[in-house]
Structure 1
């Protein structure tokens, strides 16, 4: 993996819901498009609806599970930063997202994580607060600002574009913070490998 300081940061955008009729694809596509417009970021979208990881963790996975992990694990390892797109289900985040997180460990370490949350009145903020403690345990750094989309179904037009400038402004703040932390932590990992 190259750590040249002038190379764009590799940003993995993780769409955390795999439910049918989810709104996460609209939100995830939007934030990935916003990130891809920037010269400092190279975007890789990891949609959990496309990955069938079993919920039973194993130290010696079957060939089928190993093949599924091979589709996602190297992409997480190569990432310099993450945007986690999450809804709020029952005051927390989806099981599919927790499952992805739990299948991996070193891939998150010493890298920044930002959140784009969505839902009803809470805008997914309770899911984000739960995720912060999970990522802290994995030695990741969560950035302060969040894009929180309250009553998300009213926030986007029929083309998947946000209806207001505040949503765009929030995305810029989040991506700016990820860019700063991603660059700083990439340089630090290149200088001294991180050890948990």
Structure 2
């Protein structure tokens, strides 16, 4: 079987974002896992702010479309802002539709308290509208301010096991849905 491609998207563009440490940890764990190819994506590199006429940067839009078209699923790592997900992530996701259809998505939330639990729930609803299949397993990076040291290294190694469970479920869905999409 062809190896899966599942990129990891850092879903915040804010300055001083602590979520980047979590996203890089997810990326490193995915590379160690080895069951799928991956790529680290930063919303800062792809966020497409519509102009007053509704147009967006064709170059950025084209690259994002090519990545999502090729992808067999998506892992989104995002903080919770005001009980939801960041506006720049919404702008980025809204640029496409058909390219997301029938692909699984995993969500990793970050937050000062419960690890972005409300963001995860809000994002799941949006992903369903894109006809994606959000998996049940999520990883919640709680207490994000103290979870990583000053060098960006995680202090709680149990997150590696949590991610393995997420990867197990995501790969299962990615393989099953890839076969189904190819039959279509």
TM-score by length of 1: 0.88
Say which SS state the counterpart of residue 114 (structure 1) adopts: strand
Superposed, 1:30-69 pairs within 5 Å as 30-55=25-50, 61=55, 65-69=57-61
Say which SS state the counterpart of residue 123 (structure 1) adopts: coil
Contact 1:57–1:103, Cα closer than 8 Å, also in 2: no
- Structure 1 gaps, min length 5: 1-5
> Per-residue deviation at 1:50?
1.7
- Structure 2 gaps, min length 5: none
Separation in 1, partners of 2:99, 2:23: 21
Q: Which residue in the other structure is 1:15 paired with?
A: 10
Q: Which residue in the other structure is 2:176 paired with?
A: 184
Q: Which residue in the other structure is 2:75 paired with?
A: 83
From 101, 107, 113, the counterpart of 2:105: 113
> Per-residue deviation at 1:166?
2.0
Give the aligned CA root-mean-square deviation in angstroms: 1.7
Aligned length: 184
Asked whether 1:173 is paired with 2:168, we answer: no
Separation in 2, partners of 1:88, 1:53: 21
Asked whether 1:153 is paired with 2:153, we answer: no
User: Structure 1 pair 12/58, CA: closer, same or farther in 2 (3 Å)?
Assistant: farther
Say which SS state the counterpart of residue 37 (structure 1) adopts: helix
User: Structure 1 pair 46/91, CA: closer, same or farther in 2 (3 Å)?
Assistant: same
Contact 1:7–1:40, Cα closer than 8 Å, also in 2: no
Contact 2:12–2:89, Cα closer than 8 Å, also in 1: yes
